[in-house]
Structure 1
């Protein structure tokens, strides 16, 4: 037991449990312990602090990782080949995720029988989300990928797509400079090690961040909220779990590894994602572990950052399930052509969602906004429980990106199969590193 308590995942689990317990005891609406002014939701700043520390380092880490990955290849054809294979994988698996969500909702139909009148819905409750979703057209979204200045991509207003664009251009030019660019390359390598070291230090406070985030979630929304629509929430979790075990499990099997062993290998990162509801919070540790599993640094540096914008399996499952739940609850019968149109729109709008908490709900608003058959106001039905589903979205996205990197590494012939099997069979080395 003494050795077990020294692992990061143990303390993250403790933080999640204590945060949930505190949220239940001192909830905003119905606290178990009455007469106390303290509200568990006031601890939200702890979760925000941890995520803020991670996000502070994400952009420069991704920039350096992608630049070093591209410049280290010394072959632009290879960069295009790896990127093409990654995008092909992303689109195929994302389509399967959308189809899985559609199939489950057609079979189980959790919203059927509610008979809710759209006129009774509180459209004001989701007005901010709908506004955020409608602010960008497709053309504006594409234009947004280009930052106003080089440094603008690294500010609070920037996003990973902008960082990716700059990193790809920078890495491409650096690779063509030959010996002249080696000084910059070696400097970036040192900077990368420094930033990875800073991320490892930040990870030490992950249990505190998970504690604050969970206390806020339960304290603010209450356990009763999730019980009210437990069927949809539970069905979403079961569907996502089946997708990981069956779909990604089959992908892993044909790639030559066990999905269950892989989940065990990244359990610390999964708990961090669970506690914070953000897959970005464990992005860098995932990249380190994928390299330890035998994936080449260059492939990891290209696939993982790209996956955070283009490979959102959990978000795709959520969007089809949430959309059809709203339609079923409002007694709206969708034809097959309308459902296929919904899948197509969801495939496009999901590219705008990153690993940030709440992005899935905004993306859902963007999807419904261009599917007139389902009123956007229907989102009010799931507003209260969306926060409870964000953890599952983030977890599924996170796992999907890990599997995708291993698959693309094998396709590219840059996966050390012996190292992969050895590490997954005995993850003691990585656990000792976490203790240290």
Structure 2
């Protein structure tokens, strides 16, 4: 079944592209079908995240351990994000995808919507303050993932403190989690139709005339992402003492589904289930993966440090070493701050381009091929969640162990029960 769905979605992607190419007006006309599929995905994200986080934090059963896992998760996210940013910058400087291209012959996309969202890119202080929601219901309505995660972690810690009195609520959230996972599976039954419409609309809107001149950018991005999948991740796997072949076997179809839908959220339930069987306990994955959705997008992060130098090279702008260091620091902060904003990667890129003196026009030139590159970077994001969960599980010394039945432990105990 898993192979069949991945195959159906892959075929739908190809057929949608062909349909959009040969019948561009019809491809644009069916865009609402793709938009409806995206709305279905967004509809199921919050129930999945809220329920799994609450169950996961309560299942850890010890306040100190919750904090320890959280700190280790953030350390890994920031460490690996920095590695990825540096790698992308090196590849962009070596391959120089924008050098020699004539910007005047490239069609421009409309970036009005992106410009209206650049004000939502926050500095470090604002980011920390906005993680704390003043109204949880409002945070859910806006899809502010960082604020939602913060509240759920704090609420989960409060549940741990309730001891046995919190068990009925945790049991309820376990049911909500299971129902949410089933709802995701129902939504995924129409994924081939949604993917077909999305790809047809993209190609119908922009056409291959935009893709061909930017093949160097697309090729550079795909090479960089391939290096992450086939070089960087195998090195991490070696340090973790796991077989990279087993990881590939576990997630290859989920990478295809994530790439075709352009959303990591569509595969979260399946990914958590497989990781649990792979060796990462549910108490780890139910915390690390939801936190990683806004904080740990390896493929997206890599692309940002390729796209910004591409714009500089395209317009013949020399970026000094310190300009590039400043750009990396900017990406480290802003890549965490606009998770709820549509086309967040392009919003971050536009804000960064403005901050380091690059023309916003460059973002308009590459916006049309973003969908093509987004497929590959979403696939890398999926694999990134595998390694973040495995790293934290290894660090905690629980990799390969099974979780006990989910219960709420008393916060007065000296030690949590073994996971």
TM-score normalised by the chain length of structure 2: 0.89
Corresponding position of 1:17: 14
Corresponding position of 1:359: 344
Give the Å deviation of 1:96: 1.1
* 1: CA distance, partners of 2:3 / 2:290: 30
* 2: CA distance, partners of 1:215 / 1:122: 19
Q: Identify the match of residue 350 of structure 1 among 330, 335, 342.
A: 335
Q: Identify the match of residue 241 of structure 2 among 219, 241, 256.
A: 256
Secondary structure of residue in 2 paired with 1:229: helix
Superposition pairs of residues 25-424 of structure 1, within 5 angstroms: 25-28=22-25, 39-114=26-101, 116=103, 125-138=110-123, 139-155=125-141, 157-354=142-339, 358-372=343-357, 374-416=358-400
* 2: CA distance, partners of 1:324 / 1:5: 39
For structure 1, which segment, 79-88 or 7-16, has the greater mean C-alpha deviation from structure 2 after superposition? 7-16
Tell me: CA distance 1:121–1:345, structure 2 relative to 1, closer, same or farther (3 Å).
farther
* 2: CA distance, partners of 1:24 / 1:5: 29
The 8 Å contact of residues 121 and 337 in structure 2, kept in 1 or not, is answered as no
Give the Å deviation of 1:49: 2.2
* 1: CA distance, partners of 2:177 / 2:309: 44
* 2: CA distance, partners of 1:281 / 1:46: 17
TM-score normalised by the chain length of structure 1: 0.86
The 8 Å contact of residues 72 and 298 in structure 1, kept in 2 or not, is answered as yes
* 2: CA distance, partners of 1:417 / 1:43: 48
User: 5+ residue gaps in structure 2?
Assistant: 403-419
Give the Å deviation of 1:123: 9.0
The 8 Å contact of residues 274 and 394 in structure 1, kept in 2 or not, is answered as yes
Give the Å deviation of 1:159: 2.2
The 8 Å contact of residues 129 and 361 in structure 1, kept in 2 or not, is answered as yes
Q: Deviations along 1:318-355, whole A, 9 cap, x unmatched?
A: 11111101111111111111111111111111112438
Q: Deviations along 1:278-329, whole A, 9 cap, x unmatched?
A: 2222222222221222211111011101111111211221111111011111
- Residue correspondences, number: 402
Query: What CA RMSD, in Å, does the superposition of the two structures yield over aligned residues?
Result: 2.5
Give the Å deviation of 1:45: 2.4
User: 5+ residue gaps in structure 1?
Assistant: 29-38, 419-436
For structure 1, which segment, 7-16 or 318-327, has the greater mean C-alpha deviation from structure 2 after superposition? 7-16
The 8 Å contact of residues 353 and 359 in structure 1, kept in 2 or not, is answered as yes
The 8 Å contact of residues 109 and 365 in structure 2, kept in 1 or not, is answered as no
Give the Å deviation of 1:6: 7.3
Higher relative contact order (Cα pairs below 8 Å, separated by 6+ residues) = 2
* 2: CA distance, partners of 1:159 / 1:5: 31
Give the Å deviation of 1:356: 7.5
